Amino acid sequence: MKYANGDGKGQPSSPDPSEEKASPAQTGPIARPSAQDTQNFRMVRSVRRHAASGLNRHQPRKVGCFHCDGEVEVSYAAKLASCPKCGEEINLNDYELNKPLHEDIFTRGNVTINKLGALTGESLVCHNLKAYGEVTALVHATGDVMIRSNARLPGGLRCQKLLIGRDARVIVEGDVFASEMDVDGEITADAFHCQGKTRIDEHGAINGPLQTRAVAMENGGALNGALQIVSAAAPSDPAKEA
Ligand SMILES: [Zn+2]
């Protein structure tokens, strides 16, 4: 399958940016999805990018470089940016997976893994993530993460708001860093670091030591690990280290 030829960058029908230029990223520690892999993705219009958080949906936003600490402001509809500091391209595409994929994803756009989709890779780096299908990868999100499936996250999980759905079973081999957590499924990690409030719902279980600013637990909810309430900001800013 081939995408229709667009007029170039920025067009909704344009192919993945990696098809247009030789990718300098290939030589670095981080490789963007290759042309071959993008055949497995269905591109979605960036108008969907706001879906998970609903915040500032049409406002320009700042995105970070994958290679250095450079940042650039982009419009909500942009598909590609380049780092003002090192010049590397910053992928802004949204991805929606409808079948299993073995690949890493690096984008400052949003990723949706549908029920028939699944992602197995080393790294999933994105803005917002919605997972209805299985995920096996380290997850670094600069936005919110919602998991409603089985997931195994070797290397850890970083995000803003974390939502674990009722039927989710999530095993994090590493630490969880989030600004807020709402858990109605089961999640296990080496440790949880929550900068804000943690909510454990009726079907929720947190397995592992929890450091949070506040915790609310409903009847039926479980916390299997030491609880530490911290008043100051948590040890790490997930947005900066994704
Ligand atoms: Zn850079």
Average pLDDT of the residues of the chain: 82
155 neighbors 174 (Cβ within 8 angstroms): yes
Of the residues 86, 106, 141, which one is the last residue of a structural domain? 141
What pLDDT, on a 0 to 100 scale, did the predictor assign at position 44?
A: 47
**In a shared domain, residues 96 and 178:** no
CA of 109 to the centre of ligand 1 (A): 17
pTM: 0.74
In a domain, 153, yes or no: no
**In a shared domain, residues 123 and 238:** no
pLDDT band at 50 (very low <50, low <70, confident <90, very high): very low
**In a shared domain, residues 130 and 210:** no
What pLDDT, on a 0 to 100 scale, did the predictor assign at position 27?
A: 40
Over 80: is that where the pLDDT of 154 sits?
A: yes
- DSSP lists the bridge partners of residue 100 as 118
**In a shared domain, residues 72 and 178:** no
Over 80: is that where the pLDDT of 173 sits?
A: yes
**In a shared domain, residues 88 and 10:** yes
What pLDDT, on a 0 to 100 scale, did the predictor assign at position 52?
A: 46
In a domain, 237, yes or no: yes
Of the residues 141, 173, 198, which one is the last residue of a structural domain? 141
3-state secondary structure of 239: helix
What pLDDT, on a 0 to 100 scale, did the predictor assign at position 42?
A: 47
In a domain, 97, yes or no: yes
CA of 81 to the centre of ligand 1 (A): 11
In a domain, 49, yes or no: yes
CA of 68 to the centre of ligand 1 (A): 4
CA of 165 to the centre of ligand 1 (A): 35
Mean pLDDT of 227-234: 79
Over 80: is that where the pLDDT of 135 sits?
A: yes
Neighbours of ion ligand 1 (CB under 5 A): 65, 67-68, 70, 83, 85-86, 88
CA of 176 to the centre of ligand 1 (A): 26
Mean pLDDT of 188-193: 98
Q: Which of 1-10, 133-142, 162-171, 212-221 has the lowest mean pLDDT?
A: 1-10
What pLDDT, on a 0 to 100 scale, did the predictor assign at position 235?
A: 53
**In a shared domain, residues 128 and 218:** no
**In a shared domain, residues 120 and 178:** no
CB atoms within 10 A of CB 207: 17
In a domain, 149, yes or no: no
131 neighbors 151 (Cβ within 8 angstroms): yes
C-alpha dist (Å) from residue 214 to 181, 186, 217: 10, 19, 10
**In a shared domain, residues 90 and 174:** no
What domain range is 234 assigned to? 164-242
CA of 75 to the centre of ligand 1 (A): 18
CA of 166 to the centre of ligand 1 (A): 39
**In a shared domain, residues 41 and 103:** yes
pLDDT band at 47 (very low <50, low <70, confident <90, very high): very low
Of the residues 126, 141, 156, which one is the last residue of a structural domain? 141
CA of 197 to the centre of ligand 1 (A): 33
Choice between 237 and 209, residue whose per-residue pLDDT is larger: 209
In a domain, 29, yes or no: yes
CA of 209 to the centre of ligand 1 (A): 35
**In a shared domain, residues 20 and 121:** yes
Choice between 152 and 17, residue whose per-residue pLDDT is larger: 152
CA of 34 to the centre of ligand 1 (A): 20
In total, how many domains does the chain have? 2
In a domain, 77, yes or no: yes
What pLDDT, on a 0 to 100 scale, did the predictor assign at position 55?
A: 53
Instruction: Report residue 15 as tokens.
Output: 């192919």
**In a shared domain, residues 124 and 175:** no
Mind listing the pLDDT tens digit for each residue in 67-126? 999 999 999 889 999 999 999 999 999 999 999 999 999 999 999 999 999 999 999 999
In a domain, 148, yes or no: no
